[in-house]
Structure 1
Amino acid sequence: MHIATADIGTNTVLLLIAELAGSQITPIYQEQRIARLGQGVDAARKLHPDAITRVADAIRDYADITRHYGIDRLYATATSAARDASNKDDFVRAVGSIAGVQLDILSGEDEALWAFRGALSNRPDITNATVLDIGGGSTELVVGQADRILFRQSLDVGSVRYTERFFPSLPPTEQQVIAFREQLDQAINSYDLETLPNAPFVGTAGTITSLAAVDQALIDYDPTQIDGTTIAYERVVYWADRLLTMPVAHILRLAPGVLQGRADVFPAGVCILEAVMRRFCINELVVSDRGLRFGWALAVSTR
């Protein structure tokens, strides 16, 4: 069967059109747009009208693409920014009115579950894993096996949220970095887990895939060069420290085809990754180009 899903995150809107055969997902078409639904949500707890319009327009276009592929329905999910917003119902109505698409707003726990399933959807060789999903508004940590989830938790720690909170401009001041790292470490230490199992540590979502591209000096994003690659903790530390010294324009030059629309929140995202790896003494990260949109395809395939 063919299926179409859209993942509306705090920073991006992702489209997946795929062929689904049992639990095997073969991508046919994918697209990404930077719509930043989470613009100002951390402070206002409300979605900005312009952000709602940007996302609704993107979903309308994605619905048109879905029909072009002969698929009747686009299954769309929204995550942290929509969860936090007091006007989430207005957002759901806008997407329905403008795009004609019914929207599911996922809880943090459900986001964690389906990000885990999606990240490992092309890795039958990994039967036990920890999956980390760093988003714009939240970060999910999931420990699981092929047939069951052992632990999952979502924290309100994200690249857009923490950039807006601590970094009004880049590079940040020394005082801003100190305040940022203090609150970040406090948040990461609140995970209800002391240690992680001896199993692959898999990372998914834009911060991690972008870091893999930057670390390989890729100018444009190439999933065949990203999916399954590894990043050592020492490289994460290197980039976290270096990015905090760079203005946005210089960050963008590292990988223009990758960091467009993401360069301003990239340093915070990489620092979140470093904090999690340090907290759990992780030496190496396996990168997954897949994530929630793939997991949601599995979730809705039985509807």
Structure 2
Amino acid sequence: MHGIANTAQAQAWNGHEGSHWAAHQDRWDAVNAGFDQPLLAAAAIEPGARVLDIGCGAGTTTQLAARAAAPGHALGLDLSAPMLERARRRAARDGIPHISFEHGDAQVHRLAPGAFDVAISRFGIMFFDDPAAAFANIATALRPGGRIAFLSAADPEGNQWLQAFTALDDILPVRGFGAPGAPGMFSLADAGTAIALLTEAGFQGVRAERVEAYGIWGRDAQEAGDFLLDSGPGRHLLGQVGPDTQDRARSRLVEWLRPYETAGSLRLRSVAWLLTATRMG
């Protein structure tokens, strides 16, 4: 690892947040898997390609990229040691060749200039505290004409999991949570901001396409509610109130989620920007 600049996120993703995602990777994949097809279609990874996966987490998208690029190579980069440990174990278990993982901060991590044909990210680009530095570093790592395909969370009100939290705003300190432009998941919810940052970093033909997908959050409202409240945002909100209020919030959330139960699963809609561009030559 070549230094960390994004210290707040490094602390979070090497603490409970990273451990939770690593332990529940299959469930997070069920939440986000609906975005994999549009991401890979936009990336247009060809056999023999060299792919960089930014914020790769436990490596699901890195594996998909490695399979598409064979006999090329896919490198996953992430801040989270717990998630990378899971990624390496899964790749070894699944016998995925031509794949590797590095622990580092995309804002400053040393990447060989022009080493990659494609860079992808499934919701790994929203947490930079210096996105201009991160995108410039990624641009340098791509060959001239190299492509990017990035997913970032779009308008908060289009995400039903956030609507579920908002329904608790008279119980939990939800106000202001998920504000577009604030550090965190919705930092790039304004497509114009993302387009400007990528253009300034040396990309051309930057486009933002709004896409949506339904993810499975649990078998029923109770399981989905518990999962939501054990996630980073849920723990943050619950940690600011006492046990009795926590119990009220859990009950309210389960009731809010019940209408979304169907055929043994609970599905919620998420919306994202699919950002595509090429590196200037």
Query: What is the TM-score of this pair, normalised by structure 1?
Result: 0.30
